């Protein structure tokens, strides 16, 4: 994919009002990191192509590694995906999405840890309860959940993407398939894991109860929360483990907006592409004032230290290995295609053949003078 013409960092540099108002200290710190990413302010390194017929010198600047940065997530996504491949079971997986109503948006902005933390707890409590019920499964299942807080137009839209295996382990240590038809890895796909309407009602009750334990909810707010049905969306299960890995790779390290979606930028406005799901995912372009764009982007910066990817039940970090061993002994181990290797060797963009090898690293003071001279001489020799 070619380099984007515009970046979120460019918007932040065009309109610097966020440095004085409209953002809290943690948001400003995060936005500041994005403006410095892969610039001289971060320090860097000088590399040389190992192709003898090329041997060109290249200067590169370090990344900020911030989880909200559009330029720093690809490599992390691949590494995470490789690690999670080890935990996959030889069964189908369901995709369940828990969405919070817009009524909670003001609280999500003012009390994000309580609102988003309760979302994880309520989603797992709901799925765990249905799985334990012999009417639906009668076993302990698991869940990998990823928090997204945005809609396509950068509006606040908190929701949880959950991957749930189509079965679980009973108290006797036996694997038990979901009662939905077609839940084994090689069979036809089932339509749902648990009844969606029932899931929605239980989820709403559990969430309001858990949030009430964290913060005080007014009577008016509680009435609003119970006034309309909540949305729990269940997609048909994935065809198999490979599809699960590909899905997780796309969603786990996603951020509010990628640089490639930015279409134009002036001192006052920025335009970006988005999908309008009310019109069947039709692609459109939205133009916002730069300040409004930054405000919308900043509201998706998660609190410091907040974990946005979590594992529960038989997929929990401390016990998944022994649970997988037990499940594999009954379901059989799976063979999945390897995830793409991380880009450890960077190709020379001049000859397209050689790999880049680092010769020297430098801090924000910049490269030593003699290296700058070599780079300058290289340019004049063209």
The answer on pLDDT for 188 being more than 50 is no
Residue 107 sits at φ, ψ, to 5 deg, of -70, -35
Closest to 11 measured CA to CA, from 324, 329, 288: 288
CA dist., res. 58 & res. 55, Å (int)? 10
Distance, in Å, from the CA atom of 254 to the CA atom of 248, rounded to the nearest integer, reads 10
Contact (CB, 8 A) for 114 and 73: no
Q: What is the distance of C-alpha 91 from the center of its chain? A: 24
The backbone region for 151, taken as left when phi is positive above 0, alpha when psi lies in -120 to 50, beta otherwise, is beta
Inter-residue contact 154 to 256 (CB < 8 Å): yes
Instruction: Tell me which residue of 59, 67, 19, 23 sits closest to 42, measured CA to CA.
Output: 59
State the pLDDT at residue 321.
Answer: 93
**Residue 162 belongs to what H/E stretch?**
strand 156-165
Task: Please tell me the predicted confidence (pLDDT) of residue 250.
Answer: 73
CA dist 146 and 309 (Å) reads 5
The residue that leads in pLDDT, 75 or 368, is 368
State residue 341's pLDDT score.
Answer: 54
pLDDT of 186 higher than 60: no
The string of pLDDT tens digits covering residues 44-79 is: 999 999 999 999 999 999 999 999 999 887 666 667
Mean local confidence (pLDDT), 74-89: 75
Task: Provide the pLDDT for residue 345.
Answer: 57
For the ranges 111-120, 186-195, 251-260, 345-354, the one whose mean pLDDT is highest = 111-120
Buried b or exposed e, range 8-44, using 16+ CB within 10 angstroms: bbbbbebbeebeeeebeeebbebbebbbbbbebebeb
Average confidence (pLDDT) over 324-345: 75
DSSP character string of 281-295: SEEEEEEEEHHHHHH
pTM: 0.89
Is-contact 49 348, C-beta < 8 A? yes
- Which percentage of the chain shows pLDDT scores above 70? 90
What six digits make up the tokens of 8? 């979120």
Mean pLDDT for 301-325 is 94
* Residue 238 pLDDT greater than 90, yes or no: no
More confident residue, 335 or 132: 132
Q: Tell me the C-alpha distance between 250 and 93, whole Å.
A: 16
Residue given tokens 């022994």 in the structure block: 322
190 pLDDT band, cuts 50/70/90, is very low
The chain-wide mean pLDDT, for the chain, equals 88
Where residue 290 falls among pLDDT bands split at 50, 70, 90?
Answer: very high
Q: How confident is the model at residue 339 (pLDDT cuts 50, 70, 90)?
A: low
Burial class (CB in 10 A: 0-12, 13-18, 19+), 239: middle
183 pLDDT band, cuts 50/70/90, is: very low
């Amino acid at each position: 994919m070619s380099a984007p013409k515009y970046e979120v960092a460019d918007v932040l540099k065009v309109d610097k009002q966020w440095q004085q108002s409209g953002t809290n200290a943690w948001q400003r710190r995060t936005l500041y990191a994005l403006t410095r990413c892969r610039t001289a302010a971060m320090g860097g390194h000088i590399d040389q192509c190992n192709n003898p017929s090329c041997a060109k010198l290249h200067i590169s600047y370090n990344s900020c590694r911030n989880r909200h940065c559009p330029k720093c997530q690809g490599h992390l996504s691949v590494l995470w995906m490789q690690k999670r491949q080890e935990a996959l079971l030889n069964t189908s997986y369901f995709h369940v999405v828990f969405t919070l109503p817009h009524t909670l948006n003001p609280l999500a902005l003012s009390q994000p840890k309580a609102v988003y933390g309760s979302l994880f707890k309520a989603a797992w409590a709901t799925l765990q309860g249905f799985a334990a019920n012999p009417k639906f499964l009668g076993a302990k299942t698991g869940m990998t959940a990823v928090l997204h807080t945005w809609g396509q137009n950068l509006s606040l839209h908190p929701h949880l993407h959950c991957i749930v295996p189509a079965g679980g382990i009973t108290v006797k240590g036996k694997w038990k398939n979901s009662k939905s038809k077609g839940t084994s890895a090689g069979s036809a796909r089932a339509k749902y894991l648990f009844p969606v309407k029932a899931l929605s009602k239980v989820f709403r009750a559990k969430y309001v109860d858990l949030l009430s334990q964290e913060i005080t909810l007014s009577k008016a707010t509680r009435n609003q929360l119970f006034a309309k049905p909540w949305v729990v969306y269940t997609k048909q299960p994935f065809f198999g483990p490979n599809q699960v890995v590909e899905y997780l790779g796309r969603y786990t390290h996603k951020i509010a907006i990628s640089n490639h979606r930015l279409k134009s930028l002036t001192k006052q406005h920025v335009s970006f592409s988005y999908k309008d799901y009310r019109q069947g995912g039709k692609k459109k372009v939205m133009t916002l004032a730069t300040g409004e764009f930054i405000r919308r982007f900043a509201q998706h910066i998660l609190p410091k230290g907040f974990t946005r990817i979590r594992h529960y039940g038989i997929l929990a970090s401390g016990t998944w290995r022994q649970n997988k061993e037990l499940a594999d002994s009954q379901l059989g181990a799976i063979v999945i295609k390897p995830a793409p290797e991380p880009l450890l060797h960077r190709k020379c963009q001049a000859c397209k053949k050689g790999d880049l090898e680092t010769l020297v690293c430098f801090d924000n003071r910049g490269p030593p003078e003699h290296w700058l001279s070599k780079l300058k001489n290289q340019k004049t020799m063209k």
